[in-house]
Structure 1
Amino acid sequence: MFSRLGKKVTEFINLCYNQYKTSLIEIKDGLIGSPVKSGFQLSTLTGFIYLINNNPSEQSYLDQLVTARNDLLIVGDNIRNPSSAQFVSFLNQCQGERTLRRLDLGVISLLLRMDLNPDCAVYINQCDFLKPTYVEQLTERLVDIGIAGRWRILDRKMIDYDVNPDEWS
């Protein structure tokens, strides 16, 4: 009985080995046959894998927001950029109201501002007909875009957080 089982296991392992060997030979032939196309496909696949693995989370947004808040607190009021301060203040308000929602799209994340806290059980929150459409969410309620481990709009707003343009006018 055990010899018959051992034979079947051996046959299965040989079958798997031959299939993997055949597929690797076909991949090698494809790489040699059209190297430009294969290089482009491999680069694209590698890029997507990188984006998927480094898709930022809501916790990374909160960490980046705390860092931006601390950076603004270090700078005095008269030299603080009002645009950066206003954006971070808006995000703090939304975070306190719990109206920020993260939409994960695999390679990128979108941070959207909703009208109400999802725990609030009022009619507007429950009725599907009163909820915003996807176009409205993307055009009017989009707060930030996360890609490759960073939140882009917050990064852009914090570039010159310590330069007040009104001071130079």
Structure 2
Amino acid sequence: MSFIAKRVIDPAVIQQKIKGTIVEKWMFYWKSVMRDYKDVVIGLKEEAKQKPKKAVAVITGFTFLGICAKTNPDLKSFRAKHIQSVVDISLVSSTVANPTSLNHLKYLEKCFNASLIRHQSFGLFSLIWVDTSSDKCKNYESTCEYMNWRYVNFHRQVVDVGFLGIWWVISRKMLDYDINY
């Protein structure tokens, strides 16, 4: 025979203990949030039945945005693409290599060596641009707010755009890297 008594938890006792406390307010808040989400899901289901074409368009749009966000490239993938492009062009004779591709890769390498390459992700796409000074450099020109570059000229600083897992500019420049014309 066991001497441990089993306690029966009565819901009414629990309700009395938490009445007027922050726990009661917290439980009320989460119950109302769940009720709101349930109403939204039921409303969406009814609207999808009434307008199936609109529902398909919205689902397709959100799916595309999700794919864009999932495949958004980063700086590491840009550097990998750059290195792969350098390897590809190094296998071709300099007399046969496309000068546009060669000059673009040399420019990027100089910018990487000077720590001028910057990356910004916007969730759905990414931008790579060249800054005017290194982030490691703390001279007057790099710290003075009046000498920094202006945003109206930012489009000239952009080196590449990453979208759907592809760096588009470097891919375009390397398209005919082995044809000199």
TM-score range, shorter chain: 0.7 to 0.9
> What is the deviation of 1:18?
5.9
Is the partner of 1:29 in helix, strand or coil? helix
State the match for 2:148 in structure 1: 131
TM-score normalised to structure 1 length: 0.85
Is the partner of 1:112 in helix, strand or coil? strand
Note if 1:60 corresponds to 2:77. Answer: yes
Aligned mates of 1:84, 1:70 — CA distance in 2? 12
Partner AA of 2:165 in structure 1? G
Alignment equivalent of 1:76, drawn from 73, 93, 110: 93
Partner AA of 1:86 in structure 2? N
> What is the deviation of 1:50?
1.0
Aligned mates of 1:114, 1:14 — CA distance in 2? 51
- Unpaired runs of 5+ residues, structure 1, are none
> What is the deviation of 1:21?
4.6
Q: Quote the RMSD (CA, aligned, Å).
A: 2.5
Partner AA of 1:127 in structure 2? C
Aligned mates of 1:127, 1:14 — CA distance in 2? 54
State the match for 2:104 in structure 1: 87
Residue deviations 1:89-108 (CA, integer Å, cap 9, x gap): 11011001110101221211
State the match for 2:10 in structure 1: 3
Residue deviations 1:1-45 (CA, integer Å, cap 9, x gap): 833249x9xx98987776555433222111111112222211111
Which segment is superposed worse, 34-43 or 69-78?
A: 34-43
Report if aligned partners of 2:132, 2:149 keep a CA contact under 8 Å in 1. no
Aligned length: 162
Aligned mates of 1:121, 1:157 — CA distance in 2? 34
Note if 1:143 corresponds to 2:159. Answer: yes
- Unpaired runs of 5+ residues, structure 2, are 1-7, 19-26
Alignment equivalent of 1:156, drawn from 155, 158, 172: 172
Write 1 or 2 for the structure with the bigger share of helix: 1
Q: 1:14 to 1:145 in 2, by over 3 A?
A: closer
The percentage of aligned residue pairs carrying the same residue is 24
Alignment equivalent of 2:116, drawn from 80, 95, 99: 99
Aligned mates of 2:101, 2:132 — CA distance in 1? 23
